[in-house]
Homo-oligomer: A and B are copies of this chain.
Amino acid sequence: MAEPITQCDVDFRVRYSEVDQMGVVHHSRYWVYFEMGRTELLRRQGTAYADLEREGVLLAVVNCSARFRAAAGYDELLTLTTRIGEVRRASITHEYEVRRKADGVLICTGRTTLACIDRDRRVIPLPPAIRHGP
User: Are A48 and B32 neighbours in the complex by a CB distance under 8 Å?
Assistant: no
CB-defined contacts of A64 to chain B, threshold 8 Å: 27, 65-66
Option from B21, B27, B73 in Cβ contact (under 8 Å) with A74: B21
CB-defined contacts of A39 to chain B, threshold 8 Å: 13, 15-16, 75
Copies in the complex: 4
CB-defined contacts of A66 to chain B, threshold 8 Å: 63-65
Interface-centre pick from A28, A65, A75 (highest chain B CB count, 10 A): A28
A86 at the interface (CB under 8 A from B): no
Min distance, Cβ A68 to any Cβ of chain B, angstroms: 5
Within 8 A of B (CB), among A46-75: 48-50, 53, 58, 60-69, 71, 73-75
Interface residues of A (CB under 8 A from B): 13, 15-17, 19-24, 26-29, 31-32, 35-36, 39, 48-50, 53, 58, 60-69, 71, 73-75, 121
